[in-house]
Amino acid sequence: MKKIVFYLLILTISGCIETFEPTIDLDTTAIVITGIITDLNPAQVEIARPVMGHIKEGNMKRVSGATVLLFDDQGNQEQLTEIKNGYYQGILKGVVGREYHINVHLPNNDIINSSPQLLKPCPSIDSLFLEQISYLKADGAITQLHINGLSLNLYMNRDDALSRYFKWKVGGTYSRYTAFDINRQEPPCYITLPADFNFTVGESMSSNADLLWKKLKLIKPDGTYAFGHSVEVEQYSLTKEAYNYWKKIEDQQSNVGSVFDPPPAQITGNLSYVDDQNIPAIGFFEVSGVKKKRIFINSTFFLVFPEKPNQFSTRDLDARCFPPFGWAGPFISPHWCDDCLLIENSTKIKPSYWPE
């Protein structure tokens, strides 16, 4: 629908789009609390302040010195330890069937509670499978690029009806060689990508069959698949409140960009101030069961895998290591071009799940 806007602009040949930023008084006392406990991992909680602009995650202002207590419905209690500035972690894993909530005592004596959430068992992932798809992508106004990709799909064994709501995160580990090791004499590195940036949520109908099908992601042939990529899918069972929360975030990611979109809306979680329920506390403390499954993909899986796959990819593997064609000036390569181990989350130890 963005195109309608463009169209109207053409017709009047006088329209314009400008950045609009009203004056905002940011509530500097506002708090964001995000955290999770699963049946695979103990509780993790992060406390920060929201920011006005758009900054990198690492630059968020964390809140240190808070007391974070985890409670379950059996009367058990655990105090989380601040493992680094604003990050708090527990020891005990979650137990399926118990309800958990946290109580956060901030340095300024404000107290924030999360509403209790039930840890629902997560059904196993029956299978992950791939489908070939191809489509044309506009490249500017005139040319179109033919893209071949894979659709990553999931079948779930919904053998337990306790949860109807799910979240999936897609991460993985890929293999690559050191950029300057042109002859590939060194063994490759295995680099693990965080699953955080790729998530999707789903809701199953109450009366459906026990198998849920879900299209998770469109995989484009980028450089991370050149020498093999073990894609890992994490499946989380969600409570209804957590589903609503993540669904709104998912909508926010996909809807932004058109005057015909639904107007964006505030995303509220399960946190509230003990003293004043009307003050919003931002974020969510999740309680989930988790299952994981992997699928291995390499360049042969794609119908067409270009010689320089990174031309389609923002995850530009080697291009940053060499000066652009025709470049005459000084050029400094990133430090990892000389050793792939210097890339974050990299190892030369072949993971056990890596195929021979």
Partner 1 sequence: MSIIKRLSVLTLFFFLVVLQGVKSQSKYDYEFKNVSLDSAIHLIEVDNKIRVYYLPEWVDNQKINNHYSSNNLKDLLDNMLYNVGLSCIIYSSNTYILIKQLNDGQVIEEHTSTGEVIKKITVGDSKVDVKEATISGRVFDVENKLPLPGATIYSKELKKGAATDIDGYYEMILPTGEHALIINSLGYHQENYNIILQSSGTIDVSLLSSRNTLDEVIIKGLKMDNGDSEGQMSKDVLKIESLEYVPTLMGEKDVVKSMNLLPGVVSGEGSNGYSVRGGGYGQNLIFLENTPLYNSSHLFGLFSVFNSGVVDNLTIFKGTMPAKYGGRVSSVMDINLKDGKNENWAGEAAIGLISSRIAFDGPITKKLSIVSGGRMSYFNRYLNRIENNDIKNSQGSFYDANAKLFYAVSDKSTLSINGFTSYDDFTLPEGERITYSNQLASAKWVQEFSDNVHGDFDLTYSNYYSTIDSEDSLQQRYVKNSISTFSAKGHLSLLKLENHQINLGFESNLIQVDPGRVFLSNPFETSLTQIPKESGVESALYISDEYKLSDKITINLGLRYSYFALLGPGKEYIYEPNMPRRSSTLIDSLTYSEGEIIQSYGGLEPRFFFKYKINNSLDVKFNLGRSRQYLHLMSNSASISPLNIWKLSSSHLKPQVADQMAIGIFKKIDKKNIEMSYEFFYRHINDLPDFKNGAVLFNNSNIENQLVSGSGEAYGHELQLSKKTGKLSGWLSYTFSRSFNTMNSEIDEEKINNGNKYPSNYDIPHSISLTGDYMLTRLWSLSFNWLYNSGRPITYPESYYYHDGTLVAYYSSRNEYRIPDYHRLDLSLNLKGSSLKINKKWNTTMSFSVYNVYGRKNAYSVFFQRSGYQIVGKKLSIVAQPIPSITLTVKLR
Binders in 115-134 for partner 1, by CB under 8 A: 131, 133-134
Count of beta carbons in the 10 Å neighbourhood of residue 98: 18
Residue 260 binds partner 1 (CB under 8 A): yes
CB within 8 Å of 234: residues ≥ 6 apart: 168, 169, 170, 171, 195, 290, 291, 292
Residues that bind partner 1 (rule: CB under 8 A) add up to a total of: 82
**Options 40, 130, 249, 321; binder of partner 1; rule CB under 8 A:** 249
Do 211 and 156 touch, CB atoms closer than 8 A? yes
Report in angstroms how near the CB of residue 154 gets to partner 1 at its nearest: 14
Q: Which amino acid is at 170?
A: V
Q: Which long-range contacts (CB under 8 A, 24 or more apart) does 134-143 make?
A: 134/303
Within residues 150-179, the interface with partner 1 by CB under 8 A covers 151, 164-165, 169
Among 67, 65, 34, 62, CA closest to 48: 62
Report in angstroms how near the CB of residue 88 gets to partner 1 at its nearest: 15
Report in angstroms how near the CB of residue 17 gets to partner 1 at its nearest: 5
CA distances from 328 to 319, 322, 323, 325, 331 (A): 16, 12, 8, 9, 9
Q: By rule CB under 8 A, what string of x and - marks binding of each residue 72-111 to partner 1?
A: ----------------------------------------
Across the beta sheet with 211-219, what order do the strands follow? 125-139, 143-157, 211-219
What DSSP state is assigned to residue 62? B
Taking the least distance from each CB to partner 1, the nearer of 48 and 179 is: 48
CA angle 269, 271, 276 (to 5 degrees): 125
Taking the least distance from each CB to partner 1, the nearer of 5 and 69 is: 5
Among 240, 10, 31, 267, CA closest to 116: 240
Taking the least distance from each CB to partner 1, the nearer of 262 and 355 is: 262
Residue 256 binds partner 1 (CB under 8 A): yes
**Options 48, 80, 179, 281; binder of partner 1; rule CB under 8 A:** 48
Q: Which stretch binds partner 1 (CB under 8 A): 79-87, 94-102, 175-183, 278-286?
A: 278-286
Map tokens 């950045």 to a residue: 19
Q: Which stretch binds partner 1 (CB under 8 A): 87-95, 191-199, 321-329, 333-341?
A: 191-199
Report in angstroms how near the CB of residue 356 gets to partner 1 at its nearest: 32
Report in angstroms how near the CB of residue 329 gets to partner 1 at its nearest: 26
- C-alpha span between 215 and 155 (Å, rounded): 9
Chain centre to alpha carbon of residue 157: 23
Q: By rule CB under 8 A, what string of x and - marks binding of each residue 211-240 to partner 1?
A: ----x------------------------x
Residue 209 binds partner 1 (CB under 8 A): no
Taking the least distance from each CB to partner 1, the nearer of 59 and 300 is: 59
Do 283 and 60 touch, CB atoms closer than 8 A? no
Within residues 17-46, the interface with partner 1 by CB under 8 A covers 17-22, 24, 26-27, 30, 32, 34, 36
